[in-house]
């Protein structure tokens, strides 16, 4: 038999002018069968107590569980520790489906070296490709994403973040978290529907449509971080407060019940308190109730003290 083989897939390369009467097996098996396996075939291997190495099978040898020729490699078994899956150091991509159990990682590595490779956790399915020096991931299909740090740019939606580490960092313009049992630190969480954390959250902007409950709520107020103070006229603040149009109890139009507060548009008309009103990401107005309340209380206190001083002076004149 005068047949050579391709270096990447082990396909049959009959030497021209040879293989008289044997072209059927050469083509049907050495080309068609091998090519089908490399494009659409799957190889299920067991990874439990030891590392597994797959190697290139070249025609006329038959494909087997130890062949790396397949497009998809399905890893199965109850792992007893972290294991390696060694593959040829050659230009080829693989779909890796990790069905192993036990809570340990599989590291897909080039067998020569061996290379550093990439890790897969239990239930993680991904595509790996040889980049010329090592295997790298080019995309996860489904399963759990375990990260120490996640940097997002924009438009990220996460239904379930969990695990230790630094959690969520970056400049996410819109990050929706459905359930976060232990999200670590979220530097910029955007809009969060529900945050349930084992650790603490540090957020730049947090918008909630429901009720936010906490034992203690504090706001950064260190004078060393502030400048350009402008003190409003206390008499004007008090006078305009008395003329505010929308205040007291009210009902939400979306049917979410009644509440207590003031109208943001009404507060904007009061000198010295307009900066307590802010526009949310979806265009509605919100109020810094704490800031507005303390400034209004100080204005009232100054007016009271001024009135007390005037009363004392009037009494002296009698």
CB 202 within 8 A of CB 184: no
Block residue for tokens 């009135």:
307
Range(s) of the domain holding residue 252: 232-317
Residue that terminates a domain, selected from 142, 168, 183: 142
3-class secondary-structure state, position 27: helix
Please say whether the dihedral angle defined by the alpha carbons of residues 165, 166, 170 and 173, taken in this order, is positive or negative: positive
**CA separation for the pair 95, 125 (Å, rounded):** 8
Residue 188 and residue 250 in one domain:
no
Give residue 180's pLDDT band: very low, low, confident or very high (50, 70, 90): very low
Domain boundary among the residues 200, 222, 244 is at 222
Flag whether 227 is in a domain.
no
158 vs 3 pLDDT, higher one:
3
Burial grade of 72 (CB within 10 A; 0-12, 13-18, 19 or more): middle
Residue-wise pLDDT for 112-163, tens only, equals: 999 999 999 998 999 999 999 999 998 655 555 555 555 554 444 444 444 4
Residues 12 and 112 in one domain: yes
Q: Alpha helices, DSSP H only, in 14-96? A: 23-27, 34-40
Question: What's the structural domain count of the chain?
Answer: 3
Task: Give yes or no: residues 218 and 237 share one domain.
Answer: no
Same domain, 242 and 165: no
Asked whether residue 211 falls in the same domain as residue 236, the answer is no
Domain-located, residue 149: no
Residues 207 and 302 in one domain: no
Judge whether 70 lies within some domain: yes
pLDDT tens per residue across span 253-294: 888 788 888 888 888 888 888 888 888 766 788 888 888 888
Write the pLDDT tens digit of every residue in 212-259: 777 777 877 888 888 888 888 888 888 888 888 888 898 988 887 888
- Residue 73 and residue 178 in one domain: no
Residue 86 — φ and ψ, nearest 5°?
Answer: -90, 135
Domain assignment of residue 33, yes or no: yes
pLDDT band at 193 (very low <50, low <70, confident <90, very high): very low
Contact 11, 34 (CB under 8 A): yes
Which has more pLDDT, 207 or 248?
248
Say whether both 204 and 236 belong to one domain: no
Find out whether 129 and 90 touch, Cβ atoms under 8 Å: no
The model carries a pTM of: 0.46
User: Does pLDDT of 306 surpass 50?
Assistant: yes
Final residue of a domain: which of 178, 199, 222? 222
Residue 148 is assigned to a structural domain of this protein: no
| Strands of the chain, DSSP E | 3-5, 12-14, 42-46, 52-53, 72-76, 83-87, 93-98, 106-110, 118-120, 125-130, 135-142, 149-152, 156-161, 167-170, 175-180, 185-186, 247-251, 258-262, 277-279, 285-287
């Amino acid at each position: 038999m005068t047949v050579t083989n391709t270096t990447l897939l082990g396909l049959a390369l009959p030497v021209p002018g040879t293989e008289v009467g044997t072209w059927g097996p050469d083509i049907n098996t050495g080309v068609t069968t091998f090519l089908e396996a490399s494009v659409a075939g799957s190889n299920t291997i067991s990874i439990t107590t030891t590392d597994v190495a797959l190697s290139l099978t070249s025609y006329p040898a038959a494909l087997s569980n130890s062949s790396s020729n397949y497009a998809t490699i399905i890893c199965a078994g109850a792992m007893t520790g972290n294991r390696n899956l060694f593959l040829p150091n050659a230009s080829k991509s693989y779909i890796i489906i990790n069905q192993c159990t036990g809570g340990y990682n599989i590291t897909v590595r080039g067998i020569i070296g061996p290379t550093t490779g990439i890790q897969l956790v239990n239930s993680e399915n991904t595509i790996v490709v040889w980049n010329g020096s090592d295997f790298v991931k080019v995309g996860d299909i489904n399963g759990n994403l375990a990260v120490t740090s996640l940097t997002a740019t924009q438009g990220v939606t996460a239904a379930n973040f969990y695990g230790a580490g630094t959690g969520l960092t970056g400049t996410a313009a819109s990050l929706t978290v459905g359930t976060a049992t232990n999200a670590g630190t979220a530097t910029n969480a955007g809009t969060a529907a529900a945050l349930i954390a084992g650790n603490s959250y540090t957020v730049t902007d947090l918008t909630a449509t429901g009720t936010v409950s906490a034992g203690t709520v504090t706001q950064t107020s260190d004078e060393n971080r502030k400048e350009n103070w402008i003190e409003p006229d206390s008499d004007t603040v008090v006078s305009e407060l008395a003329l505010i149009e929308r205040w007291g109890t009210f009902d939400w139009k979306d049917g979410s019940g009644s509440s207590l507060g003031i109208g943001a548009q009404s507060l904007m008309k009061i000198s010295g308190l307009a900066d307590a009103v802010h526009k949310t990401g979806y265009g509605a107005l919100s109020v810094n109730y704490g800031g507005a309340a303390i400034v209004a209380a100080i204005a009232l206190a100054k007016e009271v003290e001024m009135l007390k001083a005037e009363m004392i002076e009037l009494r002296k004149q009698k």
